[in-house]
């Protein structure tokens, strides 16, 4: 646990008592503060009270008298589409609003660091797609290299549940836009921007607000190094904003769309080969094609970003390549779950938006595509350019018929349920095919989460194959 600094003897309100909220309350208490908790769910309040925390309705008049701060869980809106009433009350009372990420950055460094030979570092990864895989890959490479490292944030543990840093420790954080948007402190050593595509637009008031939330990791934190995916205009703009000129190697530009050149520091992948260039010459390369845990161009982008971070931390290219080779991938992200009779079954349930689905579709040939779910804003129009390898689509979800009608140029069958989609795909698949779950939609019409959807896909595949 990371005890929170700066609130000793003060009362701090905590809104939302899920994983991050309870961890915040515990860390505040460990730092000598009193946590005043609230959640609309009585069961969540019961859990907090069983741990000795005081729960009080923060919507009541005068609730923020003598309160020094409000810590908000990431799922709770603080501005768009409209502020939660508790957040609005705190704003009107002039009470500073923060989240667990802000508490972490104000509390992670301690006086004990003066005795360390190597100061701990924090690597933070944000972006629309690939941030989980990139974060996990960085963590894996560091572990394989024998470096002390912990993984947290939007993946793994909550940030305040981390162990206090030891000499030379590297903390790897995956941070969503919900987390970067509100944190009052974001002082990373290395910050990564993978890419940007439309997502969570209602929460951020549009695309500009969404990009602004991501940009805060760099503008507010001032990282020593920034690794920036430059295949979208926003990434190009961000890299330019952070750089003092073409040769400024504090900014490492990453691409899978083109060969990068110039006097600075670049890492790019073309036709499955990763290349690192510095000061106009190549200094490292990795053949990514045989690495099964990183299939497709989108994973090659993740590999480029992870490679760049590892290089900033002093790892040699051969050490990084060895770490890549042993990386098994993450559940629900281009995860190979079965192979039989020449057919490969891949779970990419995390492909919850059109851009992520396009990248998944681009990673495989001869695809039998299971898709559908709760459609996100913007529709499916952009998917047409990525469906060339699709042999047939099997559409699930409450609105499967409407979803299928938008798949222009693709043979599609309405299956409604995962069980039926898997049954038909397995029956029709031939050697060389890939049965791919890449929904291009949220899961909430049928499942509690994309993880539950992916688990159901895996269970149905095993049932159909007789595992």
The pLDDT value recorded for residue 183 is 96
Using only C-alpha atoms, the chain has a radius of gyration, in whole angstroms, of 23
Reduce the DSSP state of residue 339 to 3 states and report it. strand
Of the candidates 258, 271, 227, the residue with the CA atom closest to the CA atom of residue 127 = 227
Task: Judge: domain 107-325, CATH 1.10.10.10.
Answer: no
The pLDDT value recorded for residue 222 is 87
Sign of the CA dihedral running 364, 368, 374, 376: positive
**With a cut of 50, which residues of the chain have pLDDT below it?**
none
The answer to whether 56 and 38 are in contact (CB under 8 A) is: yes
Q: Where in the chain is the domain with CATH 3.40.50.720?
A: 11-98
The pLDDT value recorded for residue 378 is 64
Known binding-site residue numbers: 127-133
Known binding-site residue numbers for ATP: 127-133
Contacts of the segment 306-310: beta carbons below 8 A, 24+ positions apart: 306/134, 306/137, 306/138, 306/141, 307/267, 307/274, 307/276, 308/192, 308/227, 308/252, 308/254, 308/265, 308/267, 308/276, 309/123, 309/138, 309/190, 309/192, 309/225, 309/227, 310/138, 310/141, 310/142, 310/145
Task: Mention the CATH class of domain 11-98.
Answer: alpha beta
CA 263, CA 255: separation in Å to the nearest integer? Answer: 16
CA distances from 105 to 2, 79, 122, 242, 361 (A): 10, 22, 9, 21, 38
CATH number of 335-460: 3.90.190.20
Q: Where in the chain is the domain with CATH 3.40.1190.10?
A: 107-325
Q: Where in the chain is the domain with CATH 3.90.190.20?
A: 335-460
- Name the phi and psi angles at 37, rounded to 5: -105, 150
């Amino acid at each position: 646990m990371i005890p929170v600094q700066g609130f000793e003897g003060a009362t701090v309100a905590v809104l939302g008592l899920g994983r991050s909220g309870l961890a915040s309350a515990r860390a505040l208490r460990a730092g000598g503060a009193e946590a005043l908790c609230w959640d609309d769910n009585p069961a969540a309040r019961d859990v907090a009270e069983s741990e000795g925390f005081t729960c009080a309705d923060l919507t009541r008049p005068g609730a923020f008298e003598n309160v020094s701060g409000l810590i908000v869980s990431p799922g709770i809106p603080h501005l768009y589409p409209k502020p939660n009433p508790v957040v609005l009350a705190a704003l009107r009372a002039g009470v500073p609003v923060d989240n667990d990420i802000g508490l972490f950055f104000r509390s992670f460094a301690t006086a004990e660091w003066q005795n360390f030979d190597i100061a701990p570092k924090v690597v933070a990864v944000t972006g629309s797609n690939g941030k989980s895989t990139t974060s996990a890959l960085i963590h894996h490479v560091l572990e394989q290299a024998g470096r002390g490292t912990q993984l947290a944030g939007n993946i793994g543990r909550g940030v305040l549940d981390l162990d206090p840093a030891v000499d030379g420790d590297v903390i790897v954080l995956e941070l969503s836009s919900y987390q970067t948007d509100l944190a009052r402190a974001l002082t990373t050593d290395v910050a990564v921007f993978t890419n940007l595509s439309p997502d969570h637009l209602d929460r951020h008031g549009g695309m500009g607000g969404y990009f602004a939330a991501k940009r805060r990791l760099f503008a507010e934190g001032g990282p020593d190094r920034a690794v920036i995916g430059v295949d979208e205009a926003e990434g190009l703009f961000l890299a330019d904003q952070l750089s003092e000129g073409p040769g400024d190697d504090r900014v490492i530009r990453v691409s899978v769309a083109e060969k990068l050149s110039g006097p600075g520091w670049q890492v790019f992948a073309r036709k499955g080969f990763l290349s690192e260039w510095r000061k106009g010459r190549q200094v490292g390369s990795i053949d990514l094609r045989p690495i099964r845990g990183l299939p497709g161009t989108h994973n090659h982008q993740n590999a480029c970003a992870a490679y760049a971070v590892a290089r900033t931390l002093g790892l040699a290219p051969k050490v990084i390549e060895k770490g890549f080779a042993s990386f098994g991938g993450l559940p629900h992200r281009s995860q190979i779950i079965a192979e039989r009779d020449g057919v490969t079954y891949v779970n990419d349930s995390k492909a919850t938006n059109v851009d992520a689905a396009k990248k998944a579709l681009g990673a495989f040939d001869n695809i039998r595509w299971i898709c559908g779910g709760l459609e996100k804003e913007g529709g499916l129009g952009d998917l047409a350019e990525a469906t060339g390898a699709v042999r047939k689509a099997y559409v699930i979800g409450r609105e499967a018929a409407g979803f299928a009608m938008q798949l222009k140029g693709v043979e599609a069958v309405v299956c409604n349920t995962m069980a039926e989609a898997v049954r038909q795909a397995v029956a029709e698949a031939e050697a060389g095919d890939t049965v791919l779950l890449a929904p291009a939609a949220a899961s909430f019409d049928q499942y509690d989460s994309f993880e539950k959807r992916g688990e159901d896909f895996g269970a149905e595949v095993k049932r159909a194959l007789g595992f």
